[in-house]
Homo-oligomer: A and B are copies of this chain.
Amino acid sequence: MRTGLCDTLGIDYPIVGFTPSEHAAAAISRAGGLGVLGCVRFNDAAELETVLDWMDHNTDGKPYGVDIVMPAKVPTEGIPDDLNSLVPPEHRAFVERTLSELGVPPLAEDVETGVGVLGWLHSVARSHVEVALRHPIRLIANALGSPPTDVLTTAHEHGVLVAALAGKAEHARRHVDSGVDIVVAQGYEAGGHTGEIASMVLIPEIVAALGGRAPVLAAGGIGSGRQAAAALALGAQGVWTGSCWLTTREYAETMGESAMQRALLGASSSDTVRSRIYTGKPARLLKTRWTEAWEQPGAPEPLPMPLQNLLVSPAHQRMHAADDPSAVAMPVGQIVGSLTEIRPVADVLDEFVRGYADTVRGLAETS
């Protein structure tokens, strides 16, 4: 499994693995893919600094990348207290009532309540870029499209490539016009922020729209060698994967054993929902009693980004502590149905590579 992108990124296999777990990201890079560390959870730049130091010592000199969440246009900004004052009291009351109905207790008194996930704020995402560029990263991926021009310029000055997610061909063209190096074509079936067009249609459409101006990574519905072969058949030069690393041993090493992992192992491909309740923009999540509560008559409309995540972050913290698989909040794609056991990262990657080779061999016999 080898394409031009392997040389561009200095990796063995064109498998890019996005994960908020540094243990999983490092293991993906060590196994020959490109681990991309999701930074949105780091409210404090110093914390990211420490984790990237750890990455530098645990990737055997292999390349890795980071993923930030940065809109091209600077949105409403402010300190968390200001923003929190913009959250309507009815929304807070709904969250409180829902948690109580779901049997999710308040946090123990000695647990510090977080201020929410601030990585969605422009200033925080910018601090992530600054920290990351002090490390030997190979790629900055932006989960919200083209990053601002000066971020692109600075990244390129550091020899760092920039990738951006696209759910439509017109977005992909715009990214490349702005100077983005790699487009991630994110299909409907993907976890997290996602559009309406499914991978089977979106990937070749974006490949055709770019006409070779930039390589395309296929995202959405890809968790096996078969699916990677399908993605490359559709014209992608590699795959962008996320959900399949959530049930790895290394993920648990960073995040701890969790009700979330147990919930993923028990879910089928029908157990996801595309909803604005996680960030304010449509994102695919695991379907749980929490997501269902937001679909009941009388539930409020989700708030715009970044307010919605500020609203629900403390609820996520409470659900995490409550440890009940039926009430968790977790972005995941439709491949969740194929996640049936906790595995080491190297096994998942090995299955990609072997499954890919088997599939390509099988296709050769049909031709």
Contacts and interface: CB of A to CB of B under 8 A. Distances in A.
Interface of A: 1-3, 168-169, 187-189, 196-202, 204-205, 220-222, 224, 226-227, 229-235, 269-270, 333-335, 337-338, 356-357, 359-361, 363-364, 366-367
Given A188-B188, A337-B205, A363-B363, A221 B233 contact: no
Nearest to A367: B360
A32 to B, nearest CB: 15
A357 to B, nearest CB: 6
A80 to B, nearest CB: 36
A3 B137 CA distance: 45
Most buried by B among A220, A333, A367: A367
B197 A188 contact: no
Pick the 8 closest A-B CB pairs, nearest first.
A200-B221, A230-B230, A198-B198, A189-B198, A229-B233, A230-B233, A201-B334, A360-B367
21 contacts: A3-B366, A168-B269, A168-B270, A187-B200, A188-B188, A189-B198, A189-B200, A197-B270, A198-B221, A199-B199, A200-B200, A201-B338, A202-B269, A226-B234, A227-B234, A229-B233, A230-B231, A230-B234, A233-B359, A360-B363, A364-B364
For this chain, the copies found in one complex come to: 2
Nearest to A334: B201
B222 A204 contact: no
Contact of A233 (B189, B335, B363): B363
Contacts of A335: 201
Q: Is the interface of A mostly helix, strand, loop or mixed?
A: helix
Given A187-B200, A198-B198, A363-B363, A205 B338 contact: yes
A169 B268 CA distance: 10
Contacts of A227: 200, 204, 233-234
Contacts of A234: 226-227, 230
Nearest to A195: B270
Contact of A357 (B204, B205, B220, B367): B367
A366 B226 contact: no
Contact of A364 (B3, B197, B221, B360): B360
A247 to B, nearest CB: 16
Nearest to A360: B367
B198 A363 contact: no
Contacts of A198: 187-189, 198-200, 220-221, 334
Nearest to A238: B366
B233 A204 contact: no
Contacts of A360: 233, 363-364, 366-367
